[in-house]
Structure 1
Amino acid sequence: MSRSKLVEANEKIAKNVTEGFNNMSDGVVSGYKKIENAVVGGYTKIEDKFVERYLAHEGESVEEAKARLKKEQEELNNRK
């Protein structure tokens, strides 16, 4: 009888520890994703402004300029 209570108590503790770990893990991953999205979003804004100001041709959108630059870079890499 005593053994059964110990086993039940051990299983209850294991369940609580596992749930606590999963909650903590979810919180850390969620926080990381928020930071990652903020950093990537900030970088993208800066990149778009740079392309718009210094690399885009007259009348060319940022997306068109990025596509053109990517194509030019691929052509350069293929020549090597």
Structure 2
Amino acid sequence: MSKLREVNRPIEDAVVGSYHKIEKKVVDSYRKIEDRFIDAFLAQDGESTEQARARVVRQREERQCQQDRRAGRRER
């Protein structure tokens, strides 16, 4: 059984390594698309991509808190 394991080890390493390379490429490509969308549609004058992203996240969290508070009032 150990010979089979030894033979399969390089194959396993190659497959896992290839998967990680593909995963990284996909995530990096998505991030580029996301950044371009933020720059084009969400960033305000003089605001960097990261600043716009942080602002959008903060606004989303604020809306969620407001919705949670409203839902809490309805349950009472």
Name the TM tier (shorter chain). Answer: 0.7 to 0.9
Shift of 1:15: 2.4
Amino acid at match of 1:42: S
Partner of 1:51: 38
Number of aligned positions between the proteins = 67
Percent identity between matched residues is 40
Partner of 2:3: 16
Partner of 1:7: none
TM-score when normalising by structure 2:
0.83
Gaps of 5+ in 2: 68-76
Moved over 4 A (4+): none
TM-score when normalising by structure 1:
0.79
2:4 pairs with 1:30: no
> CA RMSD, aligned part only?
0.9
Partner of 2:64: 77
Gaps of 5+ in 1: 1-13
